[in-house]
Every structure is written in C-alpha cells, then in structure tokens.
Amino acid sequence: MKLTSLEISRRQMLIGAGAIATLPLTGLPTFAQAAPKIKTVEPGTILLGTSGDMPLVAERDGKLVGIDAELITLIADRIGLKPKIALMDFPAILAGVPAGSLDWTGGNFSWRPKRAEIMALTDAVYYTAGFAIMKVDKPFTDKITVGDLAGHSIGTGTGYSFIPDMKSVPGTTELKLYDSVDSCVRDISAGRLDFGVLDAPVIDWIAKQDPSLGIKQVPFVYDAKYPIITGKTPMIWGVSPSEPDLFDALNQGIQWLRKTGQIGPIMAKYGITDPGYLTPPTTPNPRLGVDRDEVGNVIGPFAHTTRDFSEYFK
C-alpha cells in the first residue's frame, strides 16, 4: 500500500507531545562481550529525540526503522544499550538534548557552530548538499541559484539551520516557517509556497513514496555567501553534554561503521544511493577551531579526556 506524506511525517501531530515508545529490537546481532558502564538518562537505554521522519528515524509496526535508526542501533548493541525513541517537535529536541532529558538526536542533523555551543556533536555520519524543493513543473532541472529565489516565497522548518541564510536571500516575497515537514511539502504541492529547503533524504523519500504530490528537488549552485543552504554539510549526531562516555562510544562506533562499510548499504536500503552522501566536502572544514582541532581532537566547551571503547568495535 502506498504511504501518504501524512503517514510518512509524524512531526505535526506529535508537536509538544513528547510521546515515548520503547521499541523492541528484532533480528539484530547481539554482541557477546560484557557491556561497558555508560551513563544515560535511563540506565541500559539510549533515549533518542526524533521527529519521526522517514527515511531517518521512525517507528513502524513496533520496530525502529530508518537510516540513522539502524546505524545507532548497531552501535548501541555493541555497548549494551537499547534504543528508545521520544517523538517530539524539532525545537523540543534542541532543548531536550542540552538539558540532559534526551541522550541523542540525529537524522540528517547538521553541524552548526551554535549547536556546538549547547551539545556535544559527533564526527560526521554522512553528508548532504543543498537542494531547493519545488513543484515538478518549475523550469529547473539540474541546478538552481540563490538568485533564482528572488520574487518568490520560500520556506523551511521552525528551528532549522537554514533559516539565517534564507533570511538574507534578497528579493524574496516571504519566508514561511513550518512546524512539520508535511505542512511545508503540502504548501509546495498546492502552490501556496514556491520553494522549500528541508532535509534532502526526507524529501527524496516523500517524493518517491507519494508521486501524486508533484514535487522535486534541484541542487543549489554553491554560493559562498549562503554556505548553509548551498554547501555540503556534515550530518552528525547530537549528544547530551553530561554524557561524555556516550559521546566517545558513539564517535568510535561511527568510525567502526565507516571502516566496515556499513553506512552505504543501509542508506541504499532506503533508496538513498547517491555516493555524495559518503563523500566529505572539498571546502574548508568549518569545525576547525570551533569543536575540533587540526587532527580531529574535540575542543571547545565539551573537550574532555577521551575514553577508549575500541574493544567493543572489533
């Protein structure tokens, strides 16, 4: 049965609810080594703050599904933690992780300097480029420039990192902020919004699942004046600042996933096959001097002595 975009995105109906569901893990390998002691909000679990958008982190038929969901589950299994999701709106997630009421957030979650001030941000899991969402009849195919947005309405999600760049785009008629991916996509589909900028994998998924929406994504031409909406960005996971051991274990787990080639096949399972998602940008690393030094060590407000969890990732 074809999913509608309303079924795909659960963010709108869960705003502020903070509905929490424990999800059984079935069919996953169990790592036999004794688990390390790692502090989390609830002992033995890792509480995942998520908006429930596919193909990233969601629950379907009582199972944790999605790209980041499967990746975090592989790591959690190695360190003896069971994922448990907390479904809520994006602003609540941005408040919950720094406050320590959530252990983790992820799912096309981009690195930004201000986020590095309020929570510990892992190394890159994958990378996404900038895309503009529009109706399929728009006269753009292989590229679009920031200048092409002039004279049109643009929109994105409340709390999204694209907002500063979008506010500074000259000549646009309106910047609309939405509480859900679904509401933004529906406005584009209905012609109430000309262009949107949202999470690229989510829009890829929605467009494939529901072609009747009549939407497409077109890549932006890189513009140094607008690096957030036009540049390639590392997608990371945010971790509670009070849980440095969890942060270290996840970072080492990400390295293990990369080294063992597990990320690409999981992305492909959900229809995300562009090799660019696994290719770092060629532009200067924006993290240098903010939360990483030249050799990749953690610096800034959450610098600490790294705990070694390598024995769990062999």
Residue 157 vs residues 107, 197, 281: alpha-carbon distances, Å: 14, 8, 24
Amino acid 28: pLDDT: 42
Report the percentage of the chain scoring pLDDT > 90: 81
Q: Is the pLDDT of residue 211 over 60?
A: yes
Amino acid 17: pLDDT: 38
User: Of the candidates 126, 124, 119, which has an alpha carbon nearest to the alpha carbon of residue 102?
Assistant: 119
Q: Which alpha helices (H) appear in 218-287, and where do they start and end?
A: 227-230, 244-259, 263-269
Confidence of residue 7 (pLDDT cuts 50, 70, 90): very low
Dump pLDDT digits (tens) for 151-201. Answer: 999 999 998 989 999 999 999 999 999 999 999 999 999 999 999 999 999
Dump pLDDT digits (tens) for 59-78. Answer: 988 899 999 999 999 999 99
User: Do 220 and 143 meet the contact criterion of CB atoms below 8 Å apart?
Assistant: yes
Distance from C-alpha of 293 to C-alpha of 306, rounded to nearest angstrom? 14
User: Of the candidates 49, 54, 51, which has an alpha carbon nearest to the alpha carbon of residue 4?
Assistant: 54
Dump pLDDT digits (tens) for 11-57. Answer: 333 333 334 343 444 434 445 568 899 999 999 999 999 999 899 99
Amino acid 274: pLDDT: 87
Distance from C-alpha of 177 to C-alpha of 190, rounded to nearest angstrom? 16
**What is the value of pTM for the model shown?**
0.80
Distance from C-alpha of 188 to C-alpha of 31, rounded to nearest angstrom? 46
Dump pLDDT digits (tens) for 253-300. Answer: 999 999 999 999 999 999 899 888 999 988 889 999 999 999 999 999
Amino acid 62: pLDDT: 85
Q: Domain 5-127+234-312 is in which class?
A: alpha beta
User: Do 100 and 247 meet the contact criterion of CB atoms below 8 Å apart?
Assistant: no
Amino acid 32: pLDDT: 52
Mean pLDDT of all residues belonging to the chain: 90
In the chain, residues under CATH classification 3.40.190.10 are 5-127+234-312, 130-230
DSSP string, 212-223: GG-EEEEEBPP-
**Residues found in the chain:** 314
Dump pLDDT digits (tens) for 78-136. Answer: 999 999 999 999 999 999 999 999 999 999 899 999 999 999 999 999 999 899 999 99
Amino acid 143: pLDDT: 96
Domain 130-230: which topology?
D-Maltodextrin-Binding Protein; domain 2 (3.40.190)
